[in-house]
């Protein structure tokens, strides 16, 4: 547990500062120890054995605020005791609650039809701060307090420090299978047309929007230095739930040609763990091995299909499969900051309170979250405004942007704004 709390202090401080500084921050209510620290955070009691894991540990609404930032635990009181700044705002428990998905452990019955914890039942949504990376805001606050105790702490540079352009390949092609040929014939009543759709140039397939996608992504990845912008392609490699259809053969000529194209773009290939693996996490390893055999190199990145990494403790199965980086952590129904941060953060299992070596890259924005009538149901303009507001929040705290656009969202069709919006957002990010 101490290792977990030490990590949270380190995470709150920021990775640009010396780790020695962590020792100057105390997490104690023992007044006789205050003089050892420049800053003391008084524990709110959240971690006490009689409280942790019980309904009484959930923060009541409305929340307190400290300097305009929602505070989950403790009270916004600050005092000076001797040379030590002492705060009763429990930034550590507040951060732990969000990073560990503690609420999801406690509310096991709150799940949608896919077994996922719904964003609209989450505390960040109910308390009205899902669009704010509050932990990153705590970081700015803590660093300002340290500066007040005469520490030489630099300001965090404003701006977006990293951009992850990610794509889940649920259905790479529409007409390239025998089933696709039949579908084409049924829809168009032309046998030559259907044969051409299956055997002709891949680029003519409506789902194969990759040439456009690569061109868009390249405009950003090729100008950014130090790999500031990186593209990821998550591929399925199994799953027998109906939601795992359509299946594609990773070794087929079409898939091999797509894989080659991704490699030529320096794209990173990751595992798109199946819906079934979301229910039965031991399947993750099997799927990862299958993908590794098809691409010929180790796979270390993951995103779950349907974002269905259902229980917080399922991170253990990712770890067991030697996945080092996961990109699943966003809500399908609301875009924003599920983990309270825009920074990559080590996972915490709230059941065991153990710090995991797995890094979570918070997913900020998924295409269908914005326009799906079941989710945010935003029109063109509202969606653009919401996305740009999230970017601005990240700029203010110097964090990272992770976007998820499916190849099938980028089809040109009058009823969808996704292709236009993706282009607009990338143009916005190029100016960073
Ligand atoms: Zn998917």
**Joined tokens for residue 421:** 């919006």
- Chain-centroid distance of CA 431 in Å reads 23
Does residue 157 belong to any structural domain of this protein?
Answer: no
Q: Report d(CA 126, CA 171) in Å as an integer.
A: 34
- Are 167 and 128 within one domain? no
Q: What are 163-204's pLDDT values in tens digits?
A: 999 999 999 999 888 888 788 888 888 888 888 888 888 999
Q: Report d(CA 208, CA 167) in Å as an integer.
A: 13
The structural domain count of the chain equals: 2
In angstroms, what is the span from residue 185 Cα to ligand 1's centroid? Answer: 27
In angstroms, what is the span from residue 244 Cα to ligand 1's centroid? Answer: 8
Q: Report d(CA 347, CA 360) in Å as an integer.
A: 6
- Are 128 and 228 within one domain? no
- Are 332 and 423 within one domain? yes
Main-chain phi, psi angles of 116, to 5 degrees? -100, 150
Domain that holds residue 295: 162-172+207-430
Mean pLDDT of the residues in the chain: 95
Does residue 195 belong to any structural domain of this protein?
Answer: no
- Are 102 and 239 within one domain? no
CA angle 113, 237, 426 (to 5 degrees): 75
In angstroms, what is the span from residue 304 Cα to ligand 1's centroid? Answer: 7
> At which residue do the structure tokens 């230095």 appear?
225
pLDDT computed for residue 184 by the predictor: 84
**Joined tokens for residue 377:** 């149901």
Q: What are 138-164's pLDDT values in tens digits?
A: 999 999 999 988 778 999 999 999 999
Which DSSP symbol is given to 328? -
In angstroms, what is the span from residue 269 Cα to ligand 1's centroid? Answer: 14
Of all residues in the chain, the percent with pLDDT exceeding 70 is 99
Does residue 155 belong to any structural domain of this protein?
Answer: no
In the sheet with 84-89, reading across from the earlier edge strand, the strands are 25-27, 39-41, 84-89, 74-81
Query: In CATH, what number is assigned to the domain containing residue 316?
Result: 3.20.20.370
- Are 11 and 45 within one domain? yes
- C-alpha pair distances (Å), 291 with each of 102, 171, 262, 279, 288: 32, 16, 14, 19, 5
- Are 87 and 228 within one domain? no
In angstroms, what is the span from residue 333 Cα to ligand 1's centroid? Answer: 14
- Are 113 and 240 within one domain? no
In angstroms, what is the span from residue 306 Cα to ligand 1's centroid? Answer: 5
Q: CA torsion 298→300→306→310, rounded to 10°?
A: 130
- Are 101 and 211 within one domain? no
**Which one, of 157, 137, 8, lies nearest residue 66 by Cα?**
137
In angstroms, what is the span from residue 274 Cα to ligand 1's centroid? Answer: 8
- Are 111 and 228 within one domain? no
- Cis ω before 246 (30° cut-off from 0): yes
pLDDT computed for residue 193 by the predictor: 86
Q: Report d(CA 364, CA 424) in Å as an integer.
A: 16
Element (H, E) at 264: helix 253-264
In angstroms, what is the span from residue 366 Cα to ligand 1's centroid? Answer: 11
Q: What are 264-283's pLDDT values in tens digits?
A: 999 999 999 999 999 999 99
- C-alpha pair distances (Å), 350 with each of 81, 100, 316, 423: 33, 5, 11, 39
The answer to whether residue 127 scores a pLDDT higher than 70 is yes
- Are 257 and 310 within one domain? yes
In angstroms, what is the span from residue 367 Cα to ligand 1's centroid? Answer: 12
Does residue 377 belong to any structural domain of this protein?
Answer: yes
Other residues' Cβ atoms within 10 Å of the Cβ of residue 29: 15
- Are 135 and 167 within one domain? no
Does residue 153 belong to any structural domain of this protein?
Answer: no
In angstroms, what is the span from residue 303 Cα to ligand 1's centroid? Answer: 8
Q: What are 330-358's pLDDT values in tens digits?
A: 999 999 999 999 999 999 999 999 999 99
Torsional class of 43: left (φ above 0), alpha (ψ -120 to 50), beta (otherwise): beta
The answer to whether residue 1 scores a pLDDT higher than 80 is no
Q: Report d(CA 235, CA 60) in Å as an integer.
A: 41
- Are 342 and 228 within one domain? yes
């Amino acid at each position: 547990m101490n290792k977990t709390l030490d990590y949270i202090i380190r995470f709150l401080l920021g990775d640009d500062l010396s780790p020695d500084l962590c020792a100057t921050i105390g997490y104690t209510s023992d007044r006789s120890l205050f003089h050892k620290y420049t800053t003391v955070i008084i524990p709110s009691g959240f971690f006490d054995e009689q409280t942790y894991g019980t309904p009484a540990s959930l923060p009541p609404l409305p929340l307190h605020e400290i300097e305009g930032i929602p505070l989950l635990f403790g009270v916004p009181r600050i005092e000076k005791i001797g040379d030590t700044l002492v705060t009763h705002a429990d930034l550590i428990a507040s951060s732990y609650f969000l990073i560990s998905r503690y609420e999801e452990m406690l509310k096991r019955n709150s799940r949608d039809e896919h077994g996922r914890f719904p964003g609209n039942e989450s505390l960040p949504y109910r308390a009205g701060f899902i669009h704010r990376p509050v932990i990153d805001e705590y970081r700015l606050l803590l660093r300002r307090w340290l500066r007040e105790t005469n520490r030489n702490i630099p300001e965090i540079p404003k701006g977006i420090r990293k951009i992850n352009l990610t794509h889940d390949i649920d259905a790479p092609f529409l007409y390239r299978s025998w089933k696709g040929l039949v579908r084409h014939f049924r829809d168009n009543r032309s046998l030559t047309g259907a044969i051409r759709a299956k055997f002709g140039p891949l680029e003519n397939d409506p789902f194969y929007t990759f040439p456009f996608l690569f061109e868009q992504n390249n405009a950003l990845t090729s100008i950014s230095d130090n790999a500031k912008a990186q593209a990821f392609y998550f591929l399925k490699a199994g799953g027998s739930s109906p939601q795992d259809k359509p299946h594609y053969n990773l070794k087929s000529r079409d898939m091999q040609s797509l894989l080659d194209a991704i490699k030529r773009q320096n794209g990173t290939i990751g595992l798109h763990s199946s819906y079934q693996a979301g229910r039965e996490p031991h399947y993750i390893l099997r799927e990862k091995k299958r993908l590794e055999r098809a691409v010929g190199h180790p796979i270390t990145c993951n995103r779950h299909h349907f974002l269905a990494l259902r229980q917080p403790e399922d991170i253990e199965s990712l770890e067991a499969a030697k996945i080092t980086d996961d990109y699943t952590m966003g809500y399908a129904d609301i875009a924003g900051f599920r983990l309270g941060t825009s920074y990559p953060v080590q996972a915490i299992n709230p059941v065991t309170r153990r710090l995991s070596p797995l890094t979570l890259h918070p997913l900020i924005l998924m295409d269908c979250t914005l326009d799906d009538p079941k989710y945010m149901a935003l029109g063109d303009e509202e969606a653009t405004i919401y996305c740009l507001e999230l970017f601005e929040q990240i700029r203010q705290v110097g964090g990272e942007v992770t976007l998820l656009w499916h190849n099938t969202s980028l089809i040109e069709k009058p009823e969808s704004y996704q292709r236009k919006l993706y282009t607009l957002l990338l143009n916005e990010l190029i100016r960073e």
